[in-house]
Structure 1
Amino acid sequence: MASRYKDKDGGVVLSFNGQWVSWAHTAVAYTAFLSALIVGVSLHYHKIVQNEFYGYPDEWFPSVSATIGDRYPERSFFMIFIAITSGPRFALVGLWYILTRRSGSKLPGFVASMGLLRTLTCGGWTYITSTDDHDWHDILMISYIVCTLPWTTGCIALSPPNPSAIMWRKRLAGLFFGTLVPLIYFFIQHKVHRVAGAYTTYAFFEWALILFDVAFDAVTALDFNTFEISVKDVKGISKGENYSSVPSAVLEKEKEQITGGFFSIRFTTADALDTAASVYHGFVFWSMLTSLGLVVWYFPLWHMGISGFEAFVMVTVAPSLLGIGLFRSFVVSNLRLVHLLSLSGVAAYLVLDPVLRLCTVGLGVGLSCLGWASSLHADSVHNVRLETKLLGWMIGLILSATLKFAWTTNNPIWPIMHAANGGWNGIGLVLGILAALRFTRKGPLTGGSLSDEPKQQGSNVLAAFGIGGLFFGLHSLLSDTSTMILWVWEGYPIRGPYFSTHGWFTVAAMSVGIFLGINRPGLAGSWAQYAVGFVSATILTFFTHWFGYYGGLGLAAYLMAVSVPLITNAAKKDPAVTFGLGFLLYNFLVLFHVWVVAYAFVPGGPLVREHTDWVMLTTMLMIAAGVHDFNSSRPRHQPARRPSPSQHKKYFGLSTIIVNILFMCAAFRRFPTNDYKPYHPEDRILTAGIWTIHFSLDNDMWSSEYRMRDLIKEMEVDVIGLLESDLQRIIMGNRDTTQFLAEDLGMYVDYGPGPNKHTWGAALLSKFPIVESKHHLLPSPVGELAPAIHATLDVYGQLVDVFVFHSGQEEDPEDRRLQSEYLAKLMGSTDRPAFLLSYLVTEPLEGNYNTYVSDTSGMHDVDPTDWDRWCEYILFKNIKRVGYARVSRSTITDTELQTAKFVIPRSDAEIQELAAQSAEERDHRVEEEDVPEGWRYPAMFRGEGVRDHRYHVFDEPRYYN
């Protein structure tokens, strides 16, 4: 460090070059981490490489967290040096602000504030270790990583014209963010898949992240040599002077490319509010549209057939009314009123009667479709205004998918939500009103007459086909990030994406797609791009695991990209046809994709039975019609024109990044812990249950997950089979109840045959690890496909097989006979302890019952004297059954919760002994006081019970010994 006395220069007695701040920060930070690593490996090597699943030699290199937070004295070494680091760190942020501040620019202050917040959160996760408080450690860690994004990109954007510094920042930033991908991958391999050695590989990437992070800040040494600490600028670079041989314009353009130009935005509050309002108003549209099928579905669900209320799906064709001149003039002149009235679809949660709530939602959806079609058409003559509305509409879809992920596949402002089940309807309505007022603050640009406008080339009808196929694709596949993941899901061991850890990939693909479309609409609407989308759709339809999902990601990007040219093209034509007929065609596809599963309940259903491939093909052909019209509508020799201003694109780009960050924060919160514990491990008890959940809508049209969770938890159920559980269709809201139940109750989950397998669903949730699972579609030559899951669980160290099964309908006796034979052979294929959780559609002791309970299956009835059953049955073999209880459903569904308690055998000899028991020994009943405390059912459901749940039929549980 150079120092000198300068009495003649203003009384300065000591000075040193500013680069030493950077070097001091780098040296002390590296010392903090590396000293802890050296001391930890020297003193506690085997302990710090040990994790919850494996130790040495499977794991042989410690993670950062284990090194710096778990043991003395390495923890002390780290904390002492990291405390010393804070001084140079604050000085570094301060000097960077002084170096980069410019008159009239708010960016340096923002970047500096991110640097300060990043420093404080770093202190948080280093001083609050995962051992001290796991939640706060994780919250502060993810906050640090989130702050790193604007700090890194902001530093690049503000870099002085120093080519060497810019080059190193680019490289180190790329290495830092590139390392996050394998880091997350190997953490999932360790935490979810429990792969031996994966945590060691993860640890190397984690340490690399530290090295790159500190090195990025070390690059400031190349810029701070302009400072002499007093502080005095000895080269004038802080005043904007250039000392590089590379022209400043070249370097500024390079920085603009690296940061996407986001940091060159001229920030104004008005533009920010306009962007937020547009995106939120788009979110409200998608929230209402995706809720319509749900509230319509309630009625045929409870009528067990066509109810007549299905006609409400046609409210989306409201834009066809724009073909009436006077009506169109009124709508265009009163767009604010139309958009505000459309919020009745959000306010519908205030209406308790299901029929009136459906009417209210229908009104809101119809007005919303009408308002958006009119707004787009009215602004179609102004490219920038049309783009802003289109971007708001599509990014609103991304926001909708993000909030559904955060609420475990329920939308917080749906009319089936309210405060009791996690809804934020009131807040959503207030924000919706504010957004609608802001969204409509500018008047329409066209008048009320179509004749006053230039004739648009091409075909209105073909454009309408494109809109119909596009909106069906967006709604059916992209309104929830888990939909396509469940299309390719095939059970355990996990060989593809997982809904809670890989959902962001779908959002990322959607985000890339929309900005490809807005920046290159010609490319997005080209036939070459269509070919990519078609191939992607084919891969998603016919393949599983990761390869199938890669097709889904390609399709997600394509649908979002092609939405720009198709919607733009439709907006510039007659909206009564392009959007009115377009939504009619969309409704046709909605019904089509229901008919492929519900063929037993609808006229002509067998003609389209199990043809999701036909639905996908029809969707892509309709989009092809729109692509054809887009290309034929474009002038052959289009005159060159100045590109539209891009400021609004940057605002929407930033809003998309914010939505993506929100998604990643939600994903971090939802990351599976896989440390689930059964209720009575000391007694080796497994409590099993079967429940037909009626698609998670209760008798009053409210989402029923919370009420289901409460009963399952209070009944202390360890393993449960759920039937009628596949909700990944438009009419069911593209939901997945199993995600909420599994995460809230702490259970592993197998969704069962996916939504493209044409069943009503069977799912398995287990407190015990699922070692392996296979999905079966049982013979159904006439009626509905019968789904089954055959899973192997690791229960207290013993492998136990569990079967979850939903039989065919009463109207199809041959189907049910064939299914009983198939399942009996499947259950007979294992000699392990096993039990069946099922819906059999048979009388006890009669008919197909004697195929399920037979020598072929080896299964026994949980209680042969229970005469009051028709659907739900629990069977078992080679396992000790000690309890059986049936609990009333209240108004949650139409079927009770049926449960059984088993004691898990400890050895093969005990299994053989159980297999040799006579029926009299096996079914010997005893009183509750004769069984251990841990075997007993909760007393809270005796008598009148709680919340309308009580033991019924026998009025109390039954026990066996």
Structure 2
Amino acid sequence: MAASKYKDKDGGVLLSFSGVWISWLHTIVAYTAFISALVLGVSLHYHKIVQNEWFGYPQEWFPSVSATIGDRYPERSFFQVFIAITSGPRFALVGFWYLLSRKSGHKLPGFVAFWGVFRTLTCGGWTYITSTDDHDWHDIFMISYLLATIPWTFGCIALSPPNPQAIKYRKYVSGAFYGSILPLIYFFIQHKVHRVPGAYTKYAFFEWSLVLLDVAFDAVTALDFDSFEVVIRDVKGISKGANLSSVSSTELEKEKEKATAGVFGNSFGTSEALYIVGDIYHGFVFWSTLTSLGVLVWFFPLWYMGISGFEAAIMGTISPFLLGIPPLRGLIIRNLRIVHLLSLTGLLAYLVTDPVSRLGAVTFAVSMQCLAWSATFYSDATNEGHLESRILALLAGLLMSSIVKFMWWTNNPIWPVMHAENGGWNLTGLILAIPAALRFTRRRPINSNHGELLKDGSVLLAACSIGGLLFALHSLLSDTSTTILWVWDGYPIRGPTANTSAWYTIFAMTGGILLGALRPDVASSYGFYAFGCIGATLLTYCHHWLGYFGALVSATFLMAVSFPIIRNAARKSPASTFGTGFLIYNIMLLFHVWVVAYAFVPGGPLVREHTDWVMLTTWILIGAGVLDINKIQNSRRAGKRAVPASAPKPHRKYHVASLGALNLLFLGAAFLRFPTNDYKPYHPDQNLITAGIWTIHFSLDNDMWSSEMRMRDLIKELELDVVGLLESDNQRIIMGNRDTTQFLAEDLGMYVDYGPGPNKHTWGAALLSKFPIINSTHHLLPSPVGELAPAIHATIEAYGQLVDVFVFHSGQEEDPEDRRLQSHYLANLMGTVTDRPAMLLSYLVTKPGEGNYKTYVSDISGMHDIDPTDWDRWCEYILYKGLKRTGYARVSRSTITDTELQVGKFVVPQSKEEVARVQALGEEARDRRVAEKDIPQGARFPALFKGKGVRGHQYHVFNEPRYFGEPA
């Protein structure tokens, strides 16, 4: 402390000190709070604070921050006292930073200060409401604090005074902070979801590193606050723009510009920010409408069981060929606003109830969209800043589409298969889309002469790259769960899951956007292309985390390479590049459907099960664009021709902020969707399993509406503990890249096995279970001629016993040899793999008591029919062994699908001896029917579905459930 060298009019300053002490006081007291709690906790309660819900010492040997600061006395009190003392310097630090960085007409300093205050308040929330007091609110405050750290750290870097040392330290510390988040999340998932011993200790180290780095970031203010003397007086004039040293102000500003990549070089404005938000939302509408077209087209071949003719609607995307007519091209470019507004008709399609007319409306909208965006890229090709802004809008729109689909469990709320009854926000989407389209078309087209640019490169190579790029973006990145399900291989979980790991995909996509915008030279290099090829190879051929690493590499590559590829195509004839590009995109779309639909399409067997060919072709097409770009660059260097000058890009700061906001939105949604894994069966007091089998027709009902909510209601009301779903794989463009199991599992509180992934070329089989799935194996049964037959063999833990569940979809009626081979494979699997209690939930395509039925129900399999007297079946069957079957029912589908839901009730024996006794019962004893009144109330089927039932669902065929019991 020292007396000030300044005097005031009353005679002088009695006490003053440097602003640096605010930084040091905050740093010292904050570290003391955490370290004192750690030292006391380890000294007094070591074994208790390293114990978690699954493991203790020695598997876990280092405590988490939460356990250290909140679970025990006196360390909890030490922490709370010192963290309370920290609040004073903390508020002062935020206030000083605002005073240091504020400038007339700039809103960013106030924005950053708000988040600084918000972080301080939420710190108090997770400090004084510990996980022991209220786990949910502790997590809410903690997550809020971490999310608020993002605008605080980036804002502080953006507002840093031109002090190279301080900027350098902030970059290093914040980089280490964000780098620690990825392994933090990984090890938390390993602990919480997969229950890996020792994972929580590793998580704890990264959690502590976040704490130390967080405080260290704010400690850097000591290098800036020496300009303050607390009275308060700015003794060096930094807040007014004075220099810190002999280094010139210009040089220091250049250093700051370099540190922030030029993103925050200009002032922020609300109007400009809204324009960028509108652009991104318009990009979101483009991807929403484009991704919806395939879902509508898919509805028709489902009902025709083959090519319907409506598949031709996908050719609506080739409308850019119209730009090859010069007078029409000029008319379209002069009236781009009208064309973009016409493309919004797809958002009104949900009002059309007739499926054919709805498809027509969306086809028109897609046609207008492809035409409008192609013309927009072409018209802005000579203005580097405008063109980059358009590309950013398109890619950020894709990112937003993936995030919104995550929030809606892989559905898009503005799709025409959605409406208010199943969670759609169609009207809201339309209301937002109109001003967004108007803002997107605010600039008049630049009708510059493209003649010089058209001389460079190959139109064909550019068109190939556009087609390959659009297909890759759509097929792999339009939903965050797609690539995760590519690498999924059953339980125990050894890789990513859709509701816990999807942010890695969003993070990789965001990184790719930033790389492509800031370093397009890197994105178009041969080395980066090789990097992308490695990622695609890993994704195609590997499972678990290694395969997903390939997916992340592919995501980064695809988003980054989009900038040079679209820029290159925009500088050529739009009809030739974008028209041909969308035609190639359509061919690739059919190609990736043909590999699984080979049994129903001409020439299908030629590409049967060759997803690897699809991936190879896609990357070759993208490589054509990379080749063209490099040939152009080499030609310019050899001819010493000037590269078109790069225009100023003030839009970048808004796009970067928008990307950050989208990531925050995703993390908030991911927090709400994090699994609890504490699911309970409906009737645990009776050791009862209610199991069902349902062919769900790809989650599209008979009227072309997404059917997840209606399915959820029926499954819940029937109190199903275990259910097998068939025709459940929607992870292709033509099906919307959806995953019905995510919504059903999370809403119903069930564990889920998606079954063989989308790169396994089946129509899908999935398992939902109230009981933990201990192990599961996926099988592709012999199918030499027809479609592949998927099967899941899962072991669940029910009431302390292990029970095997088989979910199976056999081949079609047209392929009898396939079905015969499959029956022998599955019978041997059920009979030899396990001697535990088991059930088969299946689609067999056979008559009861005839043909392959005798193989499924045989001494080889050891399985029994749930009701041998039910002669009205052809497809769905429930078989069992080693369980006490107590009931069987058939429930009508209403208009949800084309197949009923069959349900069985079983009691789980509690010993091997009881299993053997049940299995040894004779046919007469085993199939003895009893009246409903003889069945305990909790073991009966719901009365809701008796008579006329509810919502079109009722017990049918034999009009009531059947019950079974052993002789008295």
1:908 aligns with 2:915: no
- 1:163 positional shift: 5.6
- 1:937 positional shift: 2.1
- 1:729 positional shift: 0.5
- 1:179 positional shift: 2.3
Choose the corresponding residue for 2:650, options 644, 647, 661: 647
How big is each residue's C-alpha offset from its partner over 1:221-270, in whole Å with a ceiling of 9 and x where there is no partner? 44434433332334444444444466555554444444333332321233
1:589 aligns with 2:593: no
**TM-score, scaled relative to structure 2:** 0.94
How big is each residue's C-alpha offset from its partner over 1:920-950, in whole Å with a ceiling of 9 and x where there is no partner? 2222222223222332222222222221122
CA distance in 2, matches of 1:459, 1:172: 46
CA distance in 2, matches of 1:158, 1:384: 24
1:317-356 alignment, distance < 5 Å: 317-356=318-357
Amino acid in structure 2 at the alignment position of 1:263 = F
CA distance in 1, matches of 2:630, 2:167: 42
Amino acid in structure 2 at the alignment position of 1:820 = S
Q: Single out whichever of 543-552 and 807-816 deviates more from structure 2.
A: 543-552
Preserved contact between residue 297 and residue 732 of structure 1 (Cα < 8 Å): yes
1:958 aligns with 2:957: no
**TM-score, scaled relative to structure 1:** 0.95
Provide the residue aligned with 2:848 in structure 1.
844
CA distance in 1, matches of 2:235, 2:334: 63
How big is each residue's C-alpha offset from its partner over 1:557-589, in whole Å with a ceiling of 9 and x where there is no partner? 222222222222222222122112221121111
Preserved contact between residue 886 and residue 957 of structure 1 (Cα < 8 Å): yes
Amino acid in structure 2 at the alignment position of 1:541 = T
Provide the residue aligned with 1:62 in structure 2.
63
Provide the residue aligned with 1:559 in structure 2.
558
- 1:471 positional shift: 1.1
Provide the residue aligned with 1:287 in structure 2.
288
Amino acid in structure 2 at the alignment position of 1:711 = L
1:875 aligns with 2:879: yes
Please state whether the residue corresponding to 1:105 is helix, strand or coil: coil
Q: Single out whichever of 644-653 and 18-27 deviates more from structure 2.
A: 18-27
CA distance in 2, matches of 1:569, 1:608: 32
CA distance in 2, matches of 1:577, 1:8: 78
Provide the residue aligned with 2:869 in structure 1.
865
Amino acid in structure 2 at the alignment position of 1:736 = D
Preserved contact between residue 464 and residue 579 of structure 1 (Cα < 8 Å): yes
Preserved contact between residue 108 and residue 268 of structure 2 (Cα < 8 Å): no
Provide the residue aligned with 1:611 in structure 2.
610
How big is each residue's C-alpha offset from its partner over 1:529-574, in whole Å with a ceiling of 9 and x where there is no partner? 3333333322322222222222222222222222222222222222
Please state whether the residue corresponding to 1:906 is helix, strand or coil: coil
Amino acid in structure 2 at the alignment position of 1:827 = M
How big is each residue's C-alpha offset from its partner over 1:774-819, in whole Å with a ceiling of 9 and x where there is no partner? 1110000110000001111122222211111000001111100000
Amino acid in structure 2 at the alignment position of 1:325 = P
1:338-377 alignment, distance < 5 Å: 338-377=339-378
CA distance in 1, matches of 2:551, 2:232: 56
- 1:487 positional shift: 1.2
Please state whether the residue corresponding to 1:688 is helix, strand or coil: strand
Please state whether the residue corresponding to 2:307 is helix, strand or coil: coil
* Change in CA separation of 1:950 and 1:32 when aligned onto 2, cut-off 3 Å: farther
- 1:61 positional shift: 3.5
Choose the corresponding residue for 1:705, options 705, 708, 712: 708
Provide the residue aligned with 2:623 in structure 1.
624
* Change in CA separation of 1:111 and 1:805 when aligned onto 2, cut-off 3 Å: same
1:688 aligns with 2:684: no
Please state whether the residue corresponding to 1:263 is helix, strand or coil: coil
What 5-or-longer segments of structure 2 have no aligned partner? none
RMSD: 2.5
How big is each residue's C-alpha offset from its partner over 1:119-138, in whole Å with a ceiling of 9 and x where there is no partner? 12222233333444444333
Provide the residue aligned with 1:144 in structure 2.
145
CA distance in 2, matches of 1:611, 1:784: 13
Provide the residue aligned with 2:785 in structure 1.
782
CA distance in 2, matches of 1:242, 1:752: 64
CA distance in 1, matches of 2:456, 2:623: 17
Amino acid in structure 1 at the alignment position of 2:534 = V
How big is each residue's C-alpha offset from its partner over 1:340-391, in whole Å with a ceiling of 9 and x where there is no partner? 0110111111111111111110110001111111111122222222221122
CA distance in 1, matches of 2:592, 2:580: 19
Percent of residue pairs bearing the same amino acid type: 69
Amino acid in structure 1 at the alignment position of 2:755 = G
Preserved contact between residue 717 and residue 942 of structure 2 (Cα < 8 Å): yes
Q: Single out whichever of 196-205 and 575-584 deviates more from structure 2.
A: 196-205
CA distance in 1, matches of 2:940, 2:47: 42
Provide the residue aligned with 2:860 in structure 1.
856
Preserved contact between residue 780 and residue 789 of structure 2 (Cα < 8 Å): yes
Provide the residue aligned with 2:198 in structure 1.
197
- 1:157 positional shift: 3.6
1:529-540 alignment, distance < 5 Å: 529-540=528-539
Provide the residue aligned with 2:307 in structure 1.
306
Preserved contact between residue 168 and residue 259 of structure 2 (Cα < 8 Å): no
CA distance in 1, matches of 2:444, 2:84: 57
Provide the residue aligned with 1:504 in structure 2.
503
What 5-or-longer segments of structure 1 have no aligned partner? none
1:731-742 alignment, distance < 5 Å: 731-742=734-745
1:11-30 alignment, distance < 5 Å: 12-30=13-31
Provide the residue aligned with 2:466 in structure 1.
467
- 1:70 positional shift: 4.2
1:806 aligns with 2:809: yes
- 1:434 positional shift: 0.7
Q: Single out whichever of 587-596 and 943-952 deviates more from structure 2.
A: 943-952
Provide the residue aligned with 2:896 in structure 1.
892
Provide the residue aligned with 1:927 in structure 2.
931
Provide the residue aligned with 2:108 in structure 1.
107
CA distance in 2, matches of 1:493, 1:627: 41
Q: Single out whichever of 257-266 and 651-660 deviates more from structure 2.
A: 257-266
Q: Single out whichever of 632-641 and 807-816 deviates more from structure 2.
A: 632-641
CA distance in 2, matches of 1:921, 1:31: 73
1:228-627 alignment, distance < 5 Å: 228-244=229-245, 249-446=250-447, 455-627=454-626
Preserved contact between residue 804 and residue 837 of structure 1 (Cα < 8 Å): yes
1:702-851 alignment, distance < 5 Å: 702-828=705-831, 829-851=833-855
Preserved contact between residue 162 and residue 244 of structure 1 (Cα < 8 Å): no
Q: Single out whichever of 293-302 and 467-476 deviates more from structure 2.
A: 467-476
Q: Single out whichever of 315-324 and 222-231 deviates more from structure 2.
A: 222-231
Please state whether the residue corresponding to 1:457 is helix, strand or coil: coil
- 1:649 positional shift: 2.7
Preserved contact between residue 482 and residue 503 of structure 1 (Cα < 8 Å): yes
CA distance in 1, matches of 2:400, 2:925: 59
User: How many residues were matched structurally?
Assistant: 959
Amino acid in structure 2 at the alignment position of 1:589 = M
CA distance in 2, matches of 1:242, 1:307: 74
How big is each residue's C-alpha offset from its partner over 1:291-332, in whole Å with a ceiling of 9 and x where there is no partner? 101001101111212221111111111111222333223222
CA distance in 2, matches of 1:460, 1:555: 25
